[in-house]
Structure formats: structure tokens, C-alpha cells
Chains A and B, each alone.
Chain A
């Protein structure tokens, strides 16, 4: 065999072996299978034990809730048919919809609800508040259960229907009896999809199959409320840690829907005539960095104020988003823009980049040149980009910066330390909050300023807490808004944390997929694929 014959033969052999599979990715997918690239890996699947957004999003397919918030942020009945509350607000009686079934064929009974709520209450901030005033939670009959409280809790339905983790998902009693600090091992719910456990490869894929016995409500679906009609037989989550790979897979038709394309790749996706790109979550996100109120220099309110005045939100947002001005706006407060409690009270001076004023205030505060330990997770681009801006800001203000670039796992541990920064503690870390978690104080731990019980940074600001108490006790929307104005102003004055701006994110999907909506999580009900 001469060289030329050999090369021809090799090429022909290779082509024969591969030919049937060339361009395979764009072909041959069953019509009702949706391949979805989620924001992160589904590393565990217990929505009470692990509270990551990705777990919550998957759980919303598998486990149903008694109530669900709709696009107007109002809790609507979901598994519940009706509820009654006594005149004194102390006794709530709920009746379940008839015919509710778990994926194992067993009916959903009040005992399942009681066990599920009991487990949820041990882990959820609102649940803990309810647990503290609970007299009794018990089944009444085969479809009803009663919740007796020692004190009225007007936000009870919001607690049961809210979408921030951990949600009040309902599980069979035998599963819900698992210690809330131990992971469940059975994934049986009564939601519109069943979890195909045998196909679960953590870090690679998770599969959900349509639950044929699910009975959607009659109302149109709206976020977690209304009829969750599954038009797909199967949803496959394909985990892709690399954005460029996800982008290529979407363009190639290997996947159908990508939850969170990075801004850099959006122009490329927009050029593809087979792909839709649109805002994913209308509630967006709030960028943030927190200062440690326990240690110098941020134990001094004037130093915190100096940082609030010196920082420029546009710098932060440009670092995160680039030049797409539709994706961000300044945020002179702490609550999600476009929601009923949004407030700018007292926030006029923050985020304007007034370095001169900041320096003056810093001098008045008597800053002694203590190094600021600024902890940044470089494996989270959002926090890394914001951290770089902050380091520059502090230097411009004349502060000494000890910039610690590490990974999110380390930040998660270090930020929980109350030790002085020189002994393994910290002065500052960066994060962001989903807008859906910042719509009111009940779902917003980061706004709390109750000292030791507050979120990392442990602000102790009685005026903020007084406003929050007013909000919980408010009888009508006007009173609620007035209370939140007080909270916002006090949070700015005390520097609970530093909002770096409000930003939105995109999602992208192929045009043969219809029904993709906007919401705080990717709702699969109502989505179809041609």
C-alpha cells in the first residue's frame, strides 16, 4: 500500500464510522424533551437542608406548595382549596384540594403537611418566627389541618407561598420527618414532575419526568401560583460550568434553554436567528458588599458613611454588566425596584462617587490607617468584579487594603467568623441578593440589623429593627410603605450594607421553545417545544 492509498483508506474508514453521527446534536431529540442548562449544579436535592437557588428551582418542579406567590407578589392558593382565619387571627384552618397525590401514588394528607411544615419551620427565618408563636399545628380530618398561634401573624400566607429558599414544600410524612439538618434520601413530591433519581449524575445532569396524575389548578399560571400545566414529557438539566460551552451548545441545538448567559456572550447569541434572548427575572438582583460592624474601622458609623458616599454604583455596574445600560440602574436603597415597598428614603447621597466628601468624613472619623481585609470570591465573577472596584475605591479614599482573593467556599466560612480581621476574621466581603429576596423584610435577612442575630457583619441598629417591627404589625399597604421608608432611611444612615446597584440578567432559548416567561426562577410549566 502506498502513502496515498493509505491516507485515502484511513479517511474513508473514519468517515464511515463517524458519518451517521456527524451533526447529530441538532437532530433526533424526542419532541417533548426539553434540555435546559441551569445556573449551577444540582449537587444535592433537599430544598430544606440545602437552600441554594438551584435546589429551590429543581424542587419547584417536584414538590408543590400550599400557596404560591404570583407575578404581583401575592400568595395564591395552590394545594389549598380554602382557608379560614378566626376573628382574633389566632386560628387558621386550611382545607386541601381533593385528589392530590404524591408521585408514589399515595394521597396527600394533612399529616404530610404538618410534618413538612414542621421541618420547614426549623430552617426558614419566617418559619422560625411562626414556630416561636405556634400553639399547635395538627390535622383535623383527611383534608383539613389547623394552625393555632399565640399571637396573630398576618403574613402567614406569604410565608407559605414565598419563593425564597427554603420554600414550604410539602413532602410525604415519612420523608418530612427527617431531621431538618440531615439530608433526605427520597425525592417524592406531589408537583408536576417526578425526579428520575436513577438518571441523576450530580455535576452532569438531572432529569424530571411528567407526573401524569398531577392535577393543575384551573387558573392561568403565574409564577408559583395557578395551573402548573406540563406540556413537556421530560426536562433534562444539563450542567455546564463553562459559559462558552453552554453558548456553543445552545447555538448548535444541543440544548434548548440556558438560564443565565453571561453578558459577554449575549451579543453572539442575539446574532443567531434561532435564538431568543430576553430578561430572565424582572425582579433582578441587588449587588452588595458588607462591612463588619464589630471591628475597626467599620465599627465607626462615620467610616461606613464615608464608604457609602465615596462609592460610585456606576463603576460597579459597568464592571459587572459592561455597556448594556438596559441591564442596570442606580439603587439609592435596599428594596427591589418595581415592587410595592421600593423606597429611596434617605438614599440620596449613596453611590454617587463623591470621593472628596468621603475623604473628609473619613478624616473626621479619625481613621487610623487600619488595614481593611477585603475578602473576595474570585470563582464568582460578580463578586470578583465588584471586589476589584471596591479595592480601588478604598485606595482612592486613602484606606489601606488587604485584598484577599479566594474561592466562594472560603468566603462562606470566613464571613461567619466574628474574630478580628488580623486573626482570621474580615472587614468586608462581596455578594449579591436576588431581587425576589429583597421585596420585604420577612424574606430579607440581609436587611436585618439585630446585632448578633443579624446577617454577617452583625449590624446593631435599633432604628432599622423598629421599622421592621412596624412593617410586621402594619395593617394596610400604606402603613407598610411608611414603615419601609423608615427602614430604608435608617439602613442608609447606619450602613447596614452597601448596595452597589440593581442589575438584571438575561436568559436565552431556541425559538422552537415557546412559553418561556420571566420570573424569579425558570418556570417550566406552560413551556412547550415544537
Chain B
């Protein structure tokens, strides 16, 4: 197990190196020039060139990549071309809203989706099953921004129960923090619920046909015990896998949700940086996202061994 862990952690290094090279190359090939955006409409070509030089953008790809990689190795993500702030500071300002949104969404989605999937499998083919699966298809099909605007309209504008936008740091209290996250988490959670519920149902259907479930029932175990203790535990591996994959979906969905609810998170930072060609920020955020995803995958692999003792590395 320890050897596996070390192997996986070491594997992160080449993965991140390839990601870094890919992102850096991609940005170098992409059209658009931050200097032109900075210089504004009244600037002459000479002004733009001077700004490019002051930003170091006039140097060759290899020199810039070498310097960037060297800085990364020393834990320095560089400085934003536009704000002149360290990329780590900018990311630091945006981490809490995004992590909060993802966390609340994840908890909400798992708490709703897993029981729904279990119940749908239990009542397979009946009205409850059809309703749950119909809702899942709907949740997966309706675009995030449509759900977001609809929820904001009903709960913020019409009922006045919740704020329509913004983010309150958790340091200012759980209540205000949660009040700002309810609508975005609901918005983002619908897709996630649909995904997890469908996988849970499919896996449970398979498990419920197994001999040990029949045995448990024959021994008089209550329905709840059969479903949530015997069956769900054995169906957990695919469900955990899809939750992990879903985190990547959450990252993508957060970009839209953060825009709709004006949450100052990493998603909005990424979009702003891309539109402005703020290369150091884009590179920093992509590296962070990639690293997070690699870690999530590692955590899921480790979880497998806890859930199912038959799995050994």
C-alpha cells in the first residue's frame, strides 16, 4: 500500500510537467496579446511593443518557458500581467468561495442523490423509479444558467428569502455564508444529483440481484438494512468513482454558476484571465485545477481499499 502511495505521488510530477508544458504551449500559440489590451485604444504600435517588452513577452518561447518552470519549481506562480499582484495572492483570494461552493454542492448532492438512486433501484420499474429517473434526465438536460436564473428569480426576487448574488466569507458566520451558497449549490447540484442518482440506481440494481442480498432478506433483515447496509456498501465503489469524476464537472460548472451568482471564485478568475490573456494567472489556475484533480483521483483510489477490502494495490 505504501509503495502504491509513493508510486502514485511520484507519478504526479510527470503529469504536472506535461500539463504545464501543454498549457504554456497552448497559450503561446493562442491569438491575442495582453499588451494590446493594456495599451488601450489610443496606443501606437510602438507603445504596445514597449509594454510587451516590459512584460517580457518579446522573449523567445523557450526562455519564457524555462523561467516559468524554474519559478514553479520554487513555488512561485509569477505575477499577474494586469493586476501586478502575485498569482498565489489572486488564487488565495478566490479559493474559499469556490471550495465552499463545491463542498456545499457535493454534500447536498450526495445526501439527495444516493437515497434517490437507492429508492429508484428498490422500486425499479414503478412510478417512483420513473419519477426519479425522469427528474434525473431533466436535471442533466437543463442548462446550469437557466436553473440559476430561475432560482434567483423565485427565491431572491419574488420571495426575497435569499440574496441573488455575492459571497460572504465563512469568518462572518455560518448563516450568512450558507445564505449566499444555497441557490448556487442548488443550481450546480442538480446536474450532479442526476449523475450520481443514475449511477447509484444502476449499481444497486445489479447488487440487489446478488445471492447475499437474497440471503439477507431470507434471514429477515429489514428492508432498510438490506438496502443501505448490505447492498449500498457493495455498490459504493462505482458511486465513489462517479463522485470523483463529478468533481471535474463541478469545476466546469462552477465557472457558469459563479458568473450567474457573481461569486468571486476561481472559475470567474479563470474566465477573466483568459479574456485578458493574463498568462501567469491562467497557467497558475490550470495547474491548480490539474493538481486538485490528480489528488482527487488518488484519494478515490485509496478510498476503494477502505470500502472494499478485496481491492489491494
Contact = CB atoms under 8 A, between A and B. Distances in A.
Q: Are A and B a genuine interacting pair, yes or no?
A: yes
Interface of A: 17-18, 20-26, 41, 43-44, 49-52, 123-125, 165, 179, 181-183, 185, 201-205, 238-242, 244-246, 248-249, 251-252, 254, 379, 406-410, 412-414, 416, 431, 445-446, 453, 455
Contacts of A416: 33, 36, 45, 48
Contacts of A204: 93-94, 264, 268
Interface in B49-80: 50-51, 53-54, 80
Given A18-B179, A165-B42, A248-B157, A202 B149 contact: no
Given A204-B93, A241-B259, 11 more contacts: A21-B178, A22-B160, A22-B179, A23-B161, A24-B179, A43-B82, A51-B39, A51-B42, A254-B166, A408-B37, A410-B31
A408 B31 CA distance: 11
B166 A44 contact: no
Contacts of B93: 201, 204
A24 B165 CA distance: 12
A44 B160 contact: no
18 contacts: A20-B175, A21-B179, A22-B162, A25-B166, A51-B40, A165-B40, A181-B50, A202-B82, A203-B264, A203-B272, A204-B93, A248-B152, A252-B157, A252-B160, A407-B32, A408-B37, A413-B31, A413-B36
Nearest to A379: B275
Contact of A249 (B34, B262, B272, B277): B262
A238 B268 CA distance: 14
Contacts of A25: 156, 162-164, 166
A138 to B, nearest CB: 26
Given A43-B83, A241-B268, A245-B152, A23 B50 contact: no
B42, B45, B269, most chain A CB atoms within 10 A: B42
Interface string B71-102: 00000000010111100001001100000000
Given A241-B259, A249-B165, A202 B160 contact: no
A51 B51 CA distance: 13
A414 to B, nearest CB: 7
Given A23-B160, A252-B156, A408-B275, A245 B262 contact: yes
A82 B256 CA distance: 54
Nearest to B44: A453
A204 B182 CA distance: 20
Contacts of B166: 25, 238, 249, 254
A201 B258 CA distance: 15
B50 A18 contact: no
A23 B161 CA distance: 5
Interface string B148-179: 01001100110011111110000000111011
Nearest to B166: A254
A445 B42 contact: yes
Given A44-B84, A412-B33, A52 B260 contact: no
Nearest to A242: B259
Sorted nearest first, the 10 A-B pairs with minimum C-beta distance are A204-B264, A51-B40, A409-B32, A21-B179, A413-B33, A248-B164, A25-B163, A412-B36, A410-B31, A21-B175
B178 to A, nearest CB: 6
Contact of B31 (A203, A406, A445): A406
Given A18-B182, A21-B175, A181-B47, A248 B156 contact: yes
A50 B164 contact: no
Range of interface residues on B (Cβ < 8 Å): 35 or more
A18 B90 CA distance: 30
Contacts of A414: 31
Contacts of B295: none
Contacts of A50: 38, 40, 82
Interface of B: 31-34, 36-45, 47-48, 50-51, 53-54, 80, 82-85, 90, 93-94, 149, 152-153, 156-157, 160-166, 174-176, 178-179, 182, 259-262, 264, 268-269, 271-272, 275-277
Given A201-B264, A251-B157, A17 B174 contact: yes
Contact of B261 (A18, A44, A239, A245): A245
A25 B156 CA distance: 9
Contacts of A446: 41
Contacts of A245: 152, 164-165, 259-262
A412 B166 CA distance: 31
Contacts of B39: 51
A43 B47 contact: no
B176 A181 contact: no
A43 B268 CA distance: 13
Contacts of A179: 54
A455 B44 CA distance: 8
Contacts of B41: 51, 431, 445-446, 455
Contact of A248 (B165, B175, B269, B272): B165
Nearest to B84: A183
A203 B40 contact: no
B2 to A, nearest CB: 42
Contacts of A238: 166, 262
A22 B44 CA distance: 52
Contacts of A408: 37, 275
Nearest to A43: B82
Instruction: Among A183, A204, A251, A416, find the residue whose CB has the most chain B CB atoms closer than 10 A.
Output: A204
A21 B87 CA distance: 33
B262 A240 contact: yes
A202 B85 CA distance: 9
A207 B169 CA distance: 17
Nearest to B277: A409
B229 to A, nearest CB: 17
Contact of A181 (B51, B149, B264, B268): B51
Nearest to A241: B259
Nearest to B177: A21
A446 B40 CA distance: 13
A447 to B, nearest CB: 12
B82 A44 contact: yes
A409 B182 contact: no
Nearest to A122: B47
A23 B260 CA distance: 19
Contacts of B84: 44, 183, 185
A462 B260 CA distance: 50
